[in-house]
Structure 1
Amino acid sequence: MTQMSALPFIVVEGNEKKLWNVQATGDWSADTATGRQYATDLLNHMASADNPGLLYHVAKAMGDGTRFTGIECGFFTHLAAAALAG
């Protein structure tokens, strides 16, 4: 089982957890690829830790959606594709 802090988009500082700590490059293709990889990492972690509820907390940490970039687009697109694939 992987530790949640091993996920590349999560930062743990003392008792504080930042569940969506990402920096877009402005390169849409690279950013969507990063988002897809982050989604893969999260899906693998949730399966190994038996913690599907983590998705809710990560999505909530993204905020109200006004700052969505290619990273978030790739992330949710990959999650949707995984859900449709069953």
Structure 2
Amino acid sequence: MRLQFIGIDPDTGKNGSPTAWVDLDSRDIVIQSYTADDATRAQCVEHTAPGHAPGIPDHETVIRIPVRLVPILREACDAAERAQLR
């Protein structure tokens, strides 16, 4: 796995730093962010995607991405698309 750092929440301090990377091999976007609280997780379970079983599988989680990270995620999407050219 070769991770390319894309960016970090610009309002972060030295702790708690939502961050985005792109895996240059798989072109996956890798996110570090806040763990969703119980109320958010409950809402995700309640609003199950059509055609999917209810609940959050053990191998998945729900994270919250601060709006400040959106421009960085756009950049990560672009980098993931460019990675296919390498």
Same fold (TM over 0.5): no
The alignment's TM-score, normalised by the length of structure 2, stands at: 0.31
